[in-house]
Structure 1
Amino acid sequence: MLNSLLSRGLAAALLLSPVPAMADDVLVFAAASLKNAIEEIVGTFNGETGHNVTVSLAGSSALARQIQSGAPADLFISANVGWMDTLEEDGLIAPGTRADLLANALVLIAADPQAEPVELSPGVDLAGLLGGGHLAMALVDAVPAGIYGKAALEGLGIWQAVAPQVAQSDNVRAALALVATGEAPYGIVYATDAVAEPGVQVVGTFPADSHPPIIYPAAILAGHEGAAAEAFLAYLSGATARASFEAQGFVVLGEE
């Protein structure tokens, strides 16, 4: 009889106890320039929620093409609106989930800690500054940082003069590495990349009107809606994520 009473008591306790939420896996495709901030945010989110969010980092163009080819990502954070527009036009974005998350700035960096500041105004002799060296940039026709960089150089009227000395990389972090290791004396990256790499210094900031606005949209991918993905997307706009993004130099869009 005692065993029967214990069994009934245990069953009642289980019924009255709150059932923990099921932990889910979420795969996020994110622009390479988000590396430091997004990895910190993911670690905090996983610890707080018990979910298992993982991040795949690369150039936005490469990630978007993988999504078009059926890669099983749940959420995409692009470094420009163009690639997100393309996926939305293809019907690959879950309706109502897209939001502009962050903004960034474009800077000229140098490997030499003694490099002088450069006034990035129309007609600046950047080619002369490079001498025989290269200007490290992300792919100028595909990767957002490279697209913005080329637009900025065109806006200043110096693209044609500089183009022969441009060394293109698969993504902005690879371009950053070329400067940090001294393989290229100068490079064009996001302001946030310069914050993340102590081996380079900012010598100039491109005027905001020399290139399109640098906006990072985020969205859940069609067919991948779920509580965990939605929770992480919401978390990206919360106070904890905001602090991580701002510490890396991003401007967080939307209300606090």
Structure 2
Amino acid sequence: MVMKRSLLALSLFVTVPAAALAQDARPVTVFAAASLKNALDEIMSAWNAKGGAKATASYAASSALAKQIENGAPADIFFSADLEWMDYAQQRTLIKADSRVTLLGNRLVLVAEKGRQAPVTIDPALDLKGLLRGNRLAMGEINSVPAGKYGKAALTSLGLWASVENSVAGAESVRAALTLVARGETPLGIVYQTDAAAEPKVEIVGTFPENSHPRILYPVALTTQSQASAEAFFAYLKSKDAQPAYTKQGFSILASGQGS
């Protein structure tokens, strides 16, 4: 085993030495929330250039990924966009609980197609229904997609949910909701700050108060079926070398792991 578990426990963010790059060539498969795509694509590109075990990723809503792992999909690492779906996986012994860390944070924002909507203040006085002008509000599916659940929680907390709940266009992932706005199919959407940064056709017109919804946290863990070759890349995901890819997309780096 290239990276000893004791090394992983020393610090959440460490520089991975060259010796840690596995000579084990078996591919490593990461099941990751759709909102992580840009950051992880960059991280995997850098990792694969180092010549270790090749890393690949499958992106979707955290709910869909957890269910796929439960149904036997061959994932080595699960990177979720909320605690609930990682809890789901842990309760079913789908992950190695001692490897689990809460690595990143995010913000919830309101986006519009670029140049179509002036900035707004998101508070109880916001006429969100009026801003929609009879159209739909794009957001993740509210019962399963983490961004959709956060969005509903925020709108409910602000007293805005009742006015727009019949106008919601529920999407299968946060990136799918973002696409609806980018294509002009909906005038507004609720997505993560990092998604807005990844799509040049949209712009942030408002940021939800952090106290209006549960904290947006991203836990990551090895799955119980993970290969030994996955441990070096798992360490790299948490390393100082990976941090710039996260921060460039707008994620906040959490200084220490947080258990469930």
Asked if Structure 1 and Structure 2 have the same fold, meaning a TM-score greater than 0.5 normalized by the shorter chain, the answer is: yes
How many residues align? The count is 235
Please give the alpha-carbon distance, in whole angstroms, between the structure 2 residues aligned to 1:169 and 1:114.
22
Q: Indicate the structure with greater helix content.
A: 1
Partner of 1:167: 169
Question: How much does 1:24 deviate?
Answer: 2.0
CA contact (8 A) 2:106 2:194 kept: yes
CA contact (8 A) 1:94 1:225 kept: no
Please give the alpha-carbon distance, in whole angstroms, between the structure 1 residues aligned to 2:138 and 2:230.
35
Please give the alpha-carbon distance, in whole angstroms, between the structure 1 residues aligned to 2:86 and 2:99.
12
Question: How much does 1:123 deviate?
Answer: 3.6
CA contact (8 A) 1:136 1:176 kept: yes
* RMSD, aligned α-carbons: 1.2
Please give the alpha-carbon distance, in whole angstroms, between the structure 2 residues aligned to 1:233 and 1:152.
32
Would the alpha carbon gap of residues 126 and 110 (structure 1) be closer, same or farther in structure 2, given more than 3 Å must change? same
Three-state SS of the structure 2 residue aligned to 1:254 is coil
Partner of 1:180: 182
Map Cα deviations across residues 66-103 of structure 1 (whole Å, 9 max, x no partner). Answer: 01111111100000000000110111111310000100
Question: How much does 1:47 deviate?
Answer: 1.3
Please give the alpha-carbon distance, in whole angstroms, between the structure 1 residues aligned to 2:155 and 2:51.
44
Larger radius of gyration: 1
1:82-101 matched pairs, under 5 angstroms: 82-101=84-103
Partner of 2:47: 45
CA contact (8 A) 2:23 2:53 kept: no
5+ residue gaps, structure 1:
1-19
1:48-197 matched pairs, under 5 angstroms: 48-197=50-199
5+ residue gaps, structure 2:
1-21
Partner of 2:244: 243
Normalised by the length of structure 2, the TM-score is 0.88
Normalised by the length of structure 1, the TM-score is 0.89
Map Cα deviations across residues 201-241 of structure 1 (whole Å, 9 max, x no partner). Answer: 10000000000000000000013151x21111111121221
Please give the alpha-carbon distance, in whole angstroms, between the structure 2 residues aligned to 1:22 and 1:189.
38
CA contact (8 A) 1:94 1:221 kept: yes
Please give the alpha-carbon distance, in whole angstroms, between the structure 2 residues aligned to 1:188 and 1:140.
11
Letter in 2 for 1:188: I
Deviates more, 1:228-237 or 1:69-78: 228-237
Please give the alpha-carbon distance, in whole angstroms, between the structure 2 residues aligned to 1:212 and 1:49.
39
**Which stretches of structure 1, 4 residues or more, deviate above 2 A after TM superposition?**
none
CA contact (8 A) 1:135 1:165 kept: yes
Letter in 1 for 2:77: L
Letter in 2 for 1:116: A
Map Cα deviations across residues 133-154 of structure 1 (whole Å, 9 max, x no partner). Answer: 1110010110000000000100
